[in-house]
């Protein structure tokens, strides 16, 4: 969002600002651009796991006006204090891992089918196009079912174990809530998105960061309904996020890495995010992680994410979302044609 479209007072009119990678940190400049200099920040670095407290550079960028919520370390303390809950959560994560592995096998077979179809010498191009669309439709159905099943797994865990009544969790949530209450803005860094989301949900950060609008009162943050792009929570504080942090704020978290040596080479949905945004899928560092020059591959990615719009979070990207959590005009996105575009009409 251009500077002249950013609200004059982000504390009074909180928005989410999503950034590109911060290997060459420019958070201090972003904070100044947003008019948040001098404000006190809560920082969430749980995605760094055991390096969570190595935040000296982050604190320097925020002029040391910040408090690290320490969610990863706090999570370890909860597990230590409540071994029964720790074991139950370990089993939940094992089931999720197996679900992810089997879902990925199916996706890999679909990608292989697409490859073979596209290598086919067409006698009638329209027939080939229909075959491609059939495979993409199967992949979209697999994506939806996987998210539903993971959502059910998590919902059953939280229903069965009633974390709101377990002493270690209640104490930790109260501690986190007091820390956040003393701040005016939030920063969420990158790292391991699964670990980050686990910590955010364990300590119930969704309602701490935002409250449901009237339209969204029956839609929990972590279970935003597919296709429901209208109801967005109302932020309580401005949030700046990048990498896994940006992904965690969205409605659905997509893992992507096209290098088949380092990863499966096919994008996969992990789980629902906090659902603080509407209509976008965050793609941090896309040129490093995606074969952007392979247009057919990018068309497949755009087709699978639709109706959500893939947001390209490149180096030096700075996108402040609208109050309703949608993308502003000018955001760099992946179009349905598989090419990068500057969004002309608000999503």
Give residue-wise pLDDT tens across range 271-287: 999 999 999 999 999 99
Cα separation, 121 vs 314, in Å, equals: 37
pLDDT band at 3 (very low <50, low <70, confident <90, very high): very low
Can you give the CATH number for the domain in which 302 is found? Answer: 3.40.50.880
pLDDT single digits (tens) 82-137: 999 999 999 999 999 999 999 999 999 999 999 999 899 989 989 999 999 999 99
Phi and psi, residue 221, nearest 5°:
-55, -45
pLDDT band at 264 (very low <50, low <70, confident <90, very high): low
Per-residue confidence (pLDDT) for residue 231, from 0 to 100: 67
Q: Does residue 199 lie in a domain region?
A: yes
Per-residue confidence (pLDDT) for residue 225, from 0 to 100: 40
For residue 15, pLDDT over 80 is answered with: yes
pLDDT single digits (tens) 185-195: 999 999 999 99
Per-residue confidence (pLDDT) for residue 232, from 0 to 100: 78
Q: Does residue 91 lie in a domain region?
A: yes
> Is residue 297 classed exposed, middle or buried when 0-12, 13-18 and 19+ CB atoms within 10 A define those classes?
buried
Per-residue confidence (pLDDT) for residue 345, from 0 to 100: 65
Per-residue confidence (pLDDT) for residue 35, from 0 to 100: 96
Q: Does residue 187 lie in a domain region?
A: yes
Q: Does residue 347 lie in a domain region?
A: no
Q: Does residue 154 lie in a domain region?
A: yes
- Percent of the chain at pLDDT > 70 equals 91
Cα separation, 281 vs 250, in Å, equals: 7
Identify the domain containing residue 104 by its residue range: 3-341
Q: What is the pTM of this model?
A: 0.91
Q: Does residue 25 lie in a domain region?
A: yes
Which of 206, 212, 329, 203 shows the shortest CA–CA distance to 272?
206
Per-residue confidence (pLDDT) for residue 11, from 0 to 100: 83
Which of 222, 191, 227 shows the shortest CA–CA distance to 209?
222
For residue 320, pLDDT over 90 is answered with: yes
**More confident: 236 or 260:** 236
- The answer for residues whose C-beta is within 8 angstroms of residue 344's C-beta and 6 or more apart is 329
Phi and psi, residue 147, nearest 5°:
-60, -40
Q: Does residue 346 lie in a domain region?
A: no
Per-residue confidence (pLDDT) for residue 214, from 0 to 100: 53
- Which bin fits 316, alpha (ψ -120 to 50), beta or left (φ > 0)? left
Output the 3-class SS for 192-228.
CHHHHHHHHHHCCHHHHHEECCHHHCCCCHHHCCCCC
Residue count of the chain: 347
Q: Measuring CA to CA, how many Å separate 47 from each of 53, 55, 98, 174, 243? A: 11, 12, 22, 21, 10
Mean pLDDT of the chain: 91
For residue 262, pLDDT over 60 is answered with: no
For residue 10, pLDDT over 90 is answered with: no
For residue 219, pLDDT over 80 is answered with: no
- If one counts the domains in the chain, the total is 1
Q: Does residue 8 lie in a domain region?
A: yes
Per-residue confidence (pLDDT) for residue 347, from 0 to 100: 53
pLDDT band at 221 (very low <50, low <70, confident <90, very high): very low
Which of 330, 271, 258 shows the shortest CA–CA distance to 297?
258
């Amino acid at each position: 969002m251009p500077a002249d479209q950013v609200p004059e007072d982000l504390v009074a009119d909180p928005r989410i600002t999503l950034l590109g990678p911060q290997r060459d940190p420019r958070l201090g400049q972003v904070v100044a651009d947003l008019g948040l200099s001098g404000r006190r920040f809560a920082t969430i670095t749980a995605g760094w796991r055991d390096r969570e407290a190595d935040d000296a550079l982050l604190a320097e960028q925020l002029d040391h006006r910040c408090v690290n919520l320490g969610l990863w370390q706090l999570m370890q303390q909860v597990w230590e204090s409540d071994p029964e809950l720790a074991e139950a959560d370990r089993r939940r994560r094992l089931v999720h891992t197996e679900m992810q592995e089997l879902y990925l096998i199916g996706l890999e077979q679909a990608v292989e089918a697409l490859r073979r179809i596209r290598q086919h010498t067409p006698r009638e191009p329209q027939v080939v196009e229909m075959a491609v669309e059939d495979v993409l439709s199967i992949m979209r159905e697999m994506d939806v079912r996987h998210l539903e099943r993971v959502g059910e797994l998590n919902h059953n865990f939280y229903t069965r174990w009633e974390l709101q009544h377990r002493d270690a969790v209640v104490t930790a949530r109260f501690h986190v809530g007091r820390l956040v209450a003393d701040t005016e803005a939030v920063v969420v860094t990158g790292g391991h998105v699964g670990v980050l989301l686990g910590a955010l949900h364990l300590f119930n950060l969704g309602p701490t960061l935002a409250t449901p609008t009237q339209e969204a009162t029956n839609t929990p943050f972590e279970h935003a309904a597919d296709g429901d792009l209208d109801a967005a929570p109302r932020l309580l504080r401005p949030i700046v996020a990048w990498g896994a942090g940006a992904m965690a704020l969205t409605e659905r978290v997509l893992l992507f890495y096209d290098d088949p040596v380092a990863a499966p080479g096919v994008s996969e949905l992990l789980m629902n995010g906090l659902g603080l945004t509407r209509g976008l899928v965050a793609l941090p560092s896309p040129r490093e992680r995606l074969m952007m020059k392979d247009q057919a591959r990018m068309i497949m990615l755009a087709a699978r994410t639709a109706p959500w719009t893939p947001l390209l979070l490149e180096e030096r990207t700075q996108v402040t979302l609208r109050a309703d959590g949608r993308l502003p005009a000018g955001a760099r996105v992946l179009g349905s044609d598989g090419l990068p575009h500057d969004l002309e009409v608000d999503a």
